[in-house]
Structure 1
Amino acid sequence: MRVTVDHDLCVGAGQCVRAAPEVFEQRDPDGKSTVLQPVPDTRYQAAVREAAARMCPARAITVVG
């Protein structure tokens, strides 16, 4: 699995950070999400998929694999 965040789409809602804080964080000063683990550990993959599919209001998260 590989995960990315499109910063042009991200609105900084932070739902991904709440779902998988080991993989996402909100950057200063704009609050947009960024990826800490582009290839997340297997134990975080379900949370990453949940964040991408259901939680991101802007659909800014892409998961491949």
Structure 2
Amino acid sequence: MANAKTATLSFRIKPELKEALRVAADQEHRSIANMIEVTILQYCRQNAVAIVDERTPSAERPKK
């Protein structure tokens, strides 16, 4: 699978949550960005949230 372009995301969180994220990322040998990505993917899988690949033709995408 070819890597798609990434999108920039900017948000604010409490300092203690940022530190917990940093610790979790270090424990998993991941960057903070990758830890967030993995966490979101895991949440989506566990909660049946579809992740639509923008390169997928619209006729093949799940209906909203």
TM-score by length of 1: 0.25
Q: Which structure's residues are more often strand, by fraction? A: 1
Q: Which structure's residues are more often helix, by fraction? A: 2
